[in-house]
Structure 1
Amino acid sequence: MIFSFTASADFDFMTYFARHIQATVQNDLLVIPDYLGQGSIRKLAFGTDFKITIHRYILKEDLVIHRNTSGQGNDLITVFFYNNEQALEIAYNENTQILFSQRDESAIQVTSNDLSSTIRFPAHQQIHYVVVAITPPRLNELLAVSEPNSVLQTITGSGNSFLFFERMTTETKLLLKNMAAVDMEDHLSNFYLQIKAQELLYQVFHTLSLRENTAHQTVSSIDAERLLHIRTEIINDLSVPPVIRNLAQVAAMSETKLKQLFKQTFGTTIYNYYQQARMEEAAFLLKQGKHSVGEVGYELGFSNLSHFSRLFEKHYGLNPKRYSYS
């Protein structure tokens, strides 16, 4: 099933999606029809300039959501929280779909609504994601930062094209879980969810506010597509360090542009991103309990296990052996 829409500030996703699947919305709740799957979409509006939709469902067929650019510049900021361990596929230029959100990686996306995107949600898998849509003036009012860094200036400014990714923290996962479980019959539920939505935004924008102050480079849909492809190239084989020259050729960018846009989008350098992904994979393998420390280290390209242990302890505060038993 394919659902396309244009991301204008006054667009109501749930209303148009309900028409698309021939369902009805009652009290801002859309129950997925039996023929399509099971679950629901809930909308919460805290004014015309601050809305949130909570998606929780399992579908009988793949769902492809295609967002078309509004052509109106940055009149709406979208914050997308994907809280699933299963990877989904995302594209920004109608090309090959790129895997997105492998475990905890880059599961939060902050984007202006002038970038087109296509996301494929797989059938027969529990899907849980939350989308916050907020206008730049309302976000600026909520943040109330007297001296915002360049990232916040870009996001809350007018006419800027941007794409930022952040990792899903344990605190954010817990927030999303609590929001999904709230009893909507409680007469103060809307008040509670507004507080939690602001807390979600706080966590994301607090992290973004700590990023380096650098001049913003405009990001196009083609740039976004290429950056996701480079991210995939980096994490496909974590036993081999990335080579900037080769990645730049794959991205059809200069090395300078690739390094600048990657750091701007993901908040860290290509090599640091690789090392972080490497340590997360090591932690995942160790927790499974099926591999020894040596096997994990060698699988991730470490010929010196002492170096692996020191690097792992720097990231997690425990050496690999103690971590595997914790």
Structure 2
Amino acid sequence: MALPDVHHNFRQFFDGLQMHGSSGRRYERMNLHSWMGEGTVQRLAPRQDLGMAAVDFRLNDDYTVSLHTRVPMVELSCCVQGYRRVEVSGREFEMKPGSWSLQFANPAEARMPFSKNQPFQMMSIAIPVTAFHHFMENGEGTRGLDFHQIIGTLPYRVIQEAYDPASAYLLQQMMEASARPDSLGIEMECRILELLSHAFRSMLFGREQRPSGLSRTDLSKLERAREIILDRMSHPPSLSELSRLIGLNEFKLKTGFKVRYGSTVFGYLREARLETAYRLLQEPEASVIDVSVSVGYSNPSYFAEAFRGKYGMNPGTLIRKS
């Protein structure tokens, strides 16, 4: 049956972290043993062919979780904080914060090493191949993509990219809802399916059609521009400097960025700043002033106004909730 297959991999991961929960419950929250570190793991099974796990922890020592996938499956992983590494058949794959990946896996041995004292936050959604094929069908019953065509004879294939602000906000909402045991199954299932839909369209179908007028080299330079403004969030370069750094003229940078990411360069930066601030404000001993400065707001009043406009509450309210 699909449920044991999909959730078997999650249970192996939990067992590897010395967390032994109950496989029969729809929702489960487990705390990391104090000798290993601090943090939590949440597991959700809204229906038989859909599983989700959200992890948020920090380990005291370097640690590796080993597991063996038993059946072919598809997994969407969203890396919010920290770096995720997976070793399969002698190859290492790495995910950076702010990225998500679609992983197509045949039965294989895998290792997941974690570094000590590094905060790690990630959410993963797993579905069996039958569910993936169902999701790939259009209204006429024609399947747009096939699991076996994507992975071939490989044990593991990863498609990875940075998630956009809209998907980041959806991910944030879903992680908050998953932390509440009173969330209705229909609410969680809808959020999970919406996030899967965003990921499939972006990573599987969006790649087939390049934006008009943008070459592969242009797209690579625009992605580099996106990385630079996120890395230098507190002190971003001007448009002219960014243009020089990526080797693309300023006009093409502005127009191409809007086409590729659906926002202006500084509109995208603003959203990223507020989303980062939302996460930082929930950390222990966070202060509004420190967070506002760390994401690039020199004036706390301007920061509070922008935060209120996006989330409908003052940043200090989030600290009190945390």
Q: TM-score w.r.t. structure 2 length? A: 0.62
Counterpart check, 1:209 vs 2:209: no
Q: Secondary structure at the match of 2:142?
A: coil
156, 159, 162: which one aligns with 1:164: 159
Paired residues, what number? 251
Cα gap change, 1:123/1:141 in structure 2, threshold over 3 Å: closer, same or farther?
A: same
Gaps of 5+ in 2: 272-322
CA contact (8 A) 2:136 2:143 kept: no
Counterpart check, 1:134 vs 2:127: yes
In structure 1, how many angstroms separate the alpha carbons of the residues matched to 2:30 and 2:249? 49
Cα gap change, 1:66/1:276 in structure 2, threshold over 3 Å: closer, same or farther?
A: farther
* Cα displacement string for residues 246-304 of structure 1 (whole angstroms, at most 9, x for unaligned residues): xxxxxxxxxxxxxxxxx9xxxx986355323322134336643264555544444x3xx
In structure 2, how many angstroms separate the alpha carbons of the residues matched to 1:179 and 1:148? 28
Counterpart check, 1:312 vs 2:253: yes
In structure 2, how many angstroms separate the alpha carbons of the residues matched to 1:282 and 1:157? 31
- Which letter does structure 1 place at the counterpart of 2:113? R
What does residue 172 of structure 2 align with? Answer: 177
Task: Name the Cα RMSD after superposition.
Answer: 3.8
In structure 2, how many angstroms separate the alpha carbons of the residues matched to 1:206 and 1:324? 23
- Which letter does structure 1 place at the counterpart of 2:105? S
In structure 2, how many angstroms separate the alpha carbons of the residues matched to 1:192 and 1:36? 33
Aligned-residue offset at 1:192:
1.4
Gaps of 5+ in 1: 1-7, 214-262
Please give the residue correspondences for 1:42-191 in structure 2 after superposition, counting only pairs within 5 Å. Answer: 42-68=42-68, 70=70, 75-84=72-81, 86-95=82-91, 97=92, 99-101=94-96, 103-105=97-99, 107-114=100-107, 117-145=110-138, 146-149=141-144, 152-154=145-147, 161=154, 162-182=157-177, 184-186=180-182, 188-191=183-186
Q: TM-score w.r.t. structure 1 length? A: 0.62
In structure 2, how many angstroms separate the alpha carbons of the residues matched to 1:170 and 1:56? 21
Aligned-residue offset at 1:197:
0.9
Q: Secondary structure at the match of 1:288?
A: coil
Cα gap change, 1:41/1:50 in structure 2, threshold over 3 Å: closer, same or farther?
A: same
* Cα displacement string for residues 62-99 of structure 1 (whole angstroms, at most 9, x for unaligned residues): 343344454x5xx3222222222x4443444435x554
* Cα displacement string for residues 172-196 of structure 1 (whole angstroms, at most 9, x for unaligned residues): 222222222225342x433211111
CA contact (8 A) 1:65 1:118 kept: yes
228, 235, 243: which one aligns with 1:289: 235
Moved more, 196-205 or 279-288: 279-288
In structure 2, how many angstroms separate the alpha carbons of the residues matched to 1:271 and 1:212? 16
* Cα displacement string for residues 112-158 of structure 1 (whole angstroms, at most 9, x for unaligned residues): 23465444333323322122221122233345423333xx2236999
* Cα displacement string for residues 35-60 of structure 1 (whole angstroms, at most 9, x for unaligned residues): 11222111112343221111122222
CA contact (8 A) 2:7 2:51 kept: no
Q: Secondary structure at the match of 1:56?
A: strand
Aligned-residue offset at 1:203:
0.9
Identity %: 14
CA contact (8 A) 1:91 1:98 kept: yes
Moved more, 18-27 or 120-129: 18-27
- Which letter does structure 1 place at the counterpart of 2:80? N
CA contact (8 A) 2:12 2:67 kept: no
* Cα displacement string for residues 194-243 of structure 1 (whole angstroms, at most 9, x for unaligned residues): 11111111111223234439xxxxxxxxxxxxxxxxxxxxxxxxxxxxxx
